Structure 1
Amino acid sequence: MKRLTITTILFGALAFSSCNKYLDVTPRAQTTKDQLFSTEKGFRDALTGAYIQMKSNNTYGGGLMWSTIEYMARNWDVSGSSIAITNLTNANYNDAQVRGMLDNTYADLYKVIASVNSILERIDGQQSVFTGNNYALIKGEALALRAFNHFDVLRMFGPMPDNPGTSTLLPYVTEVTHDIITPVAYQEFAKNILADLDAAEALMKDKDPILSYSLAELNPVANSSTPPVVADNFYMYRQIRLNYYAVLALKARVYMYLAATDPANKAKAAQYAQQVIDAKDRTGRATFRLGRESDRVAGDYLMSPEHIAALSVYNLETIATSTFGETGSLVRTDFNVQDGFYYLNNLFPVAERTSDVRWKEMWVYKVTNTSYVMYRKFIQKPSAPVLQVPLLRLSEMYLILTECAATKEAAETWYRAYCSEKGIPFPSGFNAAAWETDRKNKMIREYVREFYGEGQTFFTYKRYNVATLPASWTYSYYTGNPARYVVPKPDREINYNNK
């Protein structure tokens, strides 16, 4: 048997070894690591390196954002695609090329985990090298990153959340080691995620600059003569890091997922979602707001005012143009058929298109081939580019509160607030005779519409254990089952080493 070995010195590399044998770590490498973690700057650089790793093509720079995971949700057309992409879309996870894609995603998630574990292994013994609140911020972000990446391991490779069982399945890695980590059961894995998030929340509470300054103050305008409010740029651009509010938002997402087996977790999900929505800066203004028509008009299709956490991608314009543009492969082909059967026409009913900001100018015919439709969410407006991809958004917090509300009236209050900003008609509320079913169907559709191209559709379907989507908007387009939703983890074991 071969073992898949992650050997990373900050950024990581993938290598294969013979049975029971790993790549040796040289004394020079260990010395380099000792030197790296001898200064505060070294810890900062290592944390930055972990964020850079998250932009891997296999994870949030592609695979878990707009490509692999979106094909798994059947969000893209596969006509003309490779056999591997067709097999992926059809959940043929035994295909060798598909297996390679999924194994690489698994490995790259654990590479980030290995890197932050390297930070966490050293940071408590080096507190004396830190100034200000940087020890708390760096450790808090590292814990949050460990939880974030583990959670997507669980969502992708873990069991069905409504019936997870008690078998040991996945490793929750908290140490830097050459040893193979013993897998744990779903319940323990989830408990470890929440423990890391609890610790991150405690560390960053009252210390994160996002609690003291507005996002405008923390995002200085280029070439401005006004000096930034904080001299250290490490404190800036907190919405593109796993900041304090991102930790709360991630807790809301995790508890929402765990509610599939324990409905009591809905109250916790709602609690944290509410805290994020209620966040105020020192001027009393909301820290985050929902994206709206004015953002769309300005060309901010990514609705950046609602980003709670994101990844900075300096070349996003180039990536988006080649991926979604005229020559891009991520397209749909059913746009111009108005017979009530095709996917986009049911996802965005004609009656809603004049106002829904997720539709207007987002889906457009290609100039060179009007049989295809391009998706423009990530396409940049040259005059005002938004070079970041969202990891957590305020929209999700509103949907969580809508879903968790105990009464029809409370659910409608949250959903109306959301709809009013997004331009979604909601005149008569949820169906009076079966409002919970109506709410469920609307929530599934909103997750698809809101987070199209952001990797959340597949996880939403899995959380709801969707067999078929509501006939009113998709007919037989999509079918799901545990065989589709539970992605097999790699056959090869992994060494979670970052020495």
Structure 2
Amino acid sequence: MRHRFIFISMTFLGILFASCNDWLDVQPEDQRKEDDMFSHYKGYRNALSGCYAAMGHTSVYGQKLTTSDIELLAGMWEMMDNSGTNYDLTTHNYNDGVRSTIQDIYSKMFNVIVQTNKIIAHAEADGGAFPDEATRSVILGEAYAIRAYCQLDVLRLFGEVPGGDGEKVSLPYSEVKAFDERATRYDFSGYAEKLLTDLKRAEDLLKDNDPIFQYTYSFLNTPAYFEKALEDTYMAYRQSRLNYWAVKALQARTYLYLGRTGEAYAAAKAVIDAKDKENRPVMELSGHTDRGQRRYACPGECLFYLSKHDIKAATSMLAANAFSAERSNLLISVKRLTEKLFPENKDSDSRYTQGWNKQVEVNGLKDMYAAIRKYYYDVDNVTDASLYYEIVPMLRMAEVVLIGIETTPDVQEANKWYADYLLKGCGVAGDDRFTSQTDRLEVLLPEYAREFFAEGQMFYAYKRVGASETLFGEKIAPEDYVLWNCVNTEFNP
């Protein structure tokens, strides 16, 4: 039953995404069709599932904003040729080819945002379609959270460098529900307040209404359990949705990017200290255990992931566990891997020992390049693929803990959390690393690179701190961080 349920869910999402694209192209004269869709609860469920499916598109978090384009901008992949769009992204040569791919990302993000705006507008105007107020709150809370998730990345990718002296940018924060309606633009401060308001609204709506307050993530991943406990099984699989604790993690990420470290610390600590009904941690670090089970995307510690049944196809350019690869694949040299990314703990750190295939042959050259295994799995030798392998990690406990380490005012707490992170997340025994004089970013930025490689985090980390050089030595000028000039319009292309 479990496999059948998941298979049907994933098949439905594929069908829904195709119809979702049609819906995203709806013009104002089709208002009746839209009103009909939101006249019943099933319409809201379909629309919300469509939002998550659209986020998983290869032009958004299904590829470009996780494994490929965004990582190229951060200089994570090693170029073997000095031409082509990948090379231009790596060298921040924002020519017509790069502008086209960036525009595609931007437009698809606003497609998701406008879709959530439709849900928000209808759910707030009339709650009659919902079975109860708690269900309405969960659907509405998730919609606000999806909008905030995407709008944060609009800010992180296209906006100005936080606190920098460079170019200032006003960006659209879209609350409109028609593609031909212009969204209001805000300066950095105004945009930040809109973002935080959405996150607070999502938190308040999900508080106590989210099933995660009554059940564990594991329980809600198991049909044999939740089918007996839930009247509405759409409320299961909370890791694949922006649940309450994922929203708290997103708040921590947002506050950190905005430079509001005290509030980032409070949000991160709330997640770290959170307990379930049986007084056990709501979520714990599990990276080392996950990799030991060949679950390289670390599903055990995901507060939020996207389900993506075609993940192997979407990440085929990573070569993963292949013995040979092409020059066009996204790889790094073994030299860079061992000397720059993992200069220490190569015998014990599971991110190095298990997370990389270090024997990839390219053009007859053996053992010179490495491929990340993050999205790899052997389809013939796994069970519950949709739960543990066909996923895109979006918010992980590792990030929450690293935010806590960076922002806590207590050095002892920073050392405790870092020791836990190394042991449970990486399999590394560590001593106290920080003193009151330690620049924690010198330790933590390389950890971000090791931990979130191919998850789309490093460009934003470099931008947040205004880094002029990457871990691998590539230069980044302040203007390279601002991609607003690559965009023509937020309207549907």
Same-fold status (TM-score > 0.5): yes
- Quote the offset at 1:315 in angstroms: 2.1
- Quote the offset at 1:174 in angstroms: 0.8
What's 2:6 paired with?
A: none
Alignment of 1:303-342 (within 5 A): 303-321=298-316, 323-325=318-320, 326=322, 327=325, 329-335=328-334, 337=335, 342=336
Contact 2:411 2:436 (8 Å CA) reproduced:
no
Q: Any idea what the Cα deviations from partners look like across 1:421-476, whole Å, max 9, x if unmatched?
A: 1223432523x5841x2x21111011111110000010000011111357xxx4xx
What's 1:72 paired with?
A: 73
Question: 1:415 is matched by which residue type in structure 2?
Answer: Y
- CA gap of 1:279–1:433, structure 2 versus 1, over 3 A, is closer
- CA gap of 1:204–1:164, structure 2 versus 1, over 3 A, is farther
- In the alignment, structure 1 residue 415 sits paired with structure 2 residue 415: no
Q: 2: distance between equivalents of 1:205 and 1:30?
A: 32
Question: 1:429 is matched by which residue type in structure 2?
Answer: R
Deviates more, 1:228-237 or 1:447-456: 228-237
Contact 1:180 1:493 (8 Å CA) reproduced:
no
What's 1:198 paired with?
A: 200
Alignment of 1:196-345 (within 5 A): 196-220=198-222, 227-259=227-259, 265-321=260-316, 323-325=318-320, 326=322, 327=325, 329-335=328-334, 337=335, 342-345=336-339
User: Residue 185 of structure 2: which of 183, 208, 212 is its match?
Assistant: 183
Q: 1: distance between equivalents of 2:354 and 2:337?
A: 18
- Quote the offset at 1:294 in angstroms: 2.7
Contact 2:452 2:458 (8 Å CA) reproduced:
yes
Q: Any idea what the Cα deviations from partners look like across 1:53-101, whole Å, max 9, x if unmatched?
A: 10121110111010000001111122147512111110011x1110001
- CA gap of 1:235–1:171, structure 2 versus 1, over 3 A, is same
Alignment of 1:407-446 (within 5 A): 407-421=410-424, 422-430=426-434, 432=435, 434-435=437-438, 437=439, 439-446=440-447
What's 1:360 paired with?
A: 353
Secondary structure in structure 2 of the residue aligned to 1:309: strand
User: Residue 409 of structure 2: which of 406, 411, 417 is its match?
Assistant: 406
- Quote the offset at 1:14 in angstroms: 8.9
- In the alignment, structure 1 residue 448 sits paired with structure 2 residue 449: yes
Q: 2: distance between equivalents of 1:204 and 1:480?
A: 40
What's 1:377 paired with?
A: 374
What's 1:100 paired with?
A: 100
User: Residue 481 of structure 2: which of 463, 485, 491 is its match?
Assistant: 485
Contact 2:212 2:243 (8 Å CA) reproduced:
yes
Contact 1:11 1:115 (8 Å CA) reproduced:
no
Deviates more, 1:320-329 or 1:354-363: 320-329
Q: 2: distance between equivalents of 1:479 and 1:309?
A: 33
What's 1:262 paired with?
A: none
Q: Give unmatched runs, 5+ long, in structure 1.
A: 1-7, 16-23, 260-264
- Quote the offset at 1:157 in angstroms: 0.2
Question: 1:204 is matched by which residue type in structure 2?
Answer: L
- CA gap of 1:119–1:405, structure 2 versus 1, over 3 A, is same
Contact 2:422 2:430 (8 Å CA) reproduced:
yes
- Quote the offset at 1:346 in angstroms: 2.1
- CA gap of 1:289–1:426, structure 2 versus 1, over 3 A, is same
What's 1:394 paired with?
A: 397
- CA gap of 1:330–1:279, structure 2 versus 1, over 3 A, is farther
- CA gap of 1:312–1:491, structure 2 versus 1, over 3 A, is closer
- Quote the offset at 1:365 in angstroms: 2.9
- CA gap of 1:30–1:490, structure 2 versus 1, over 3 A, is farther
Q: 2: distance between equivalents of 1:226 and 1:152?
A: 33
Deviates more, 1:142-151 or 1:227-236: 227-236
Secondary structure in structure 2 of the residue aligned to 1:128: coil
Q: 2: distance between equivalents of 1:102 and 1:355?
A: 39
What TM-score, normalized to structure 1?
0.86
Q: 2: distance between equivalents of 1:321 and 1:165?
A: 37
What TM-score, normalized to structure 2?
0.87
Q: 2: distance between equivalents of 1:152 and 1:413?
A: 31
- Quote the offset at 1:367 in angstroms: 5.0
- CA gap of 1:293–1:180, structure 2 versus 1, over 3 A, is closer
Alignment of 1:158-169 (within 5 A): 158-163=159-164, 167=168, 169=170
Q: 2: distance between equivalents of 1:482 and 1:165?
A: 7
- CA gap of 1:317–1:490, structure 2 versus 1, over 3 A, is closer
- Quote the offset at 1:13 in angstroms: 8.3
- Quote the offset at 1:220 in angstroms: 1.2
- Quote the offset at 1:411 in angstroms: 1.9
- Quote the offset at 1:26 in angstroms: 6.6
Contact 1:137 1:208 (8 Å CA) reproduced:
yes
Q: How many residues of Structure 1 are paired with residues of Structure 2 in the alignment? A: 459
Question: 1:451 is matched by which residue type in structure 2?
Answer: F
Question: 1:97 is matched by which residue type in structure 2?
Answer: G
- Quote the offset at 1:491 in angstroms: 4.7
Deviates more, 1:226-235 or 1:372-381: 226-235
- Quote the offset at 1:216 in angstroms: 1.5
Contact 1:321 1:379 (8 Å CA) reproduced:
no
Question: 2:405 is matched by which residue type in structure 1?
Answer: T
Q: 1: distance between equivalents of 2:304 and 2:314?
A: 20
Secondary structure in structure 1 of the residue aligned to 2:303: strand
- Quote the offset at 1:490 in angstroms: 4.4
What's 1:116 paired with?
A: 116
- CA gap of 1:372–1:245, structure 2 versus 1, over 3 A, is same
Question: 1:383 is matched by which residue type in structure 2?
Answer: V
Alignment of 1:138-157 (within 5 A): 138-157=139-158
Q: Any idea what the Cα deviations from partners look like across 1:240-288, whole Å, max 9, x if unmatched?
A: 10111111110110001111xxxxx211111111111122222222221
- Quote the offset at 1:322 in angstroms: 5.3
Deviates more, 1:237-246 or 1:165-174: 165-174
- Quote the offset at 1:489 in angstroms: 4.1
Q: Any idea what the Cα deviations from partners look like across 1:105-135, whole Å, max 9, x if unmatched?
A: 1111111000001111211222011013211
Question: 1:324 is matched by which residue type in structure 2?
Answer: A
- Quote the offset at 1:344 in angstroms: 4.1
Q: 1: distance between equivalents of 2:329 and 2:256?
A: 30
Secondary structure in structure 2 of the residue aligned to 1:467: coil
- Quote the offset at 1:409 in angstroms: 2.6
Q: Any idea what the Cα deviations from partners look like across 1:12-40, whole Å, max 9, x if unmatched?
A: 6899xxxxxxxx9374x322111101101
Q: 1: distance between equivalents of 2:464 and 2:184?
A: 26
Question: 2:21 is matched by which residue type in structure 1?
Answer: F
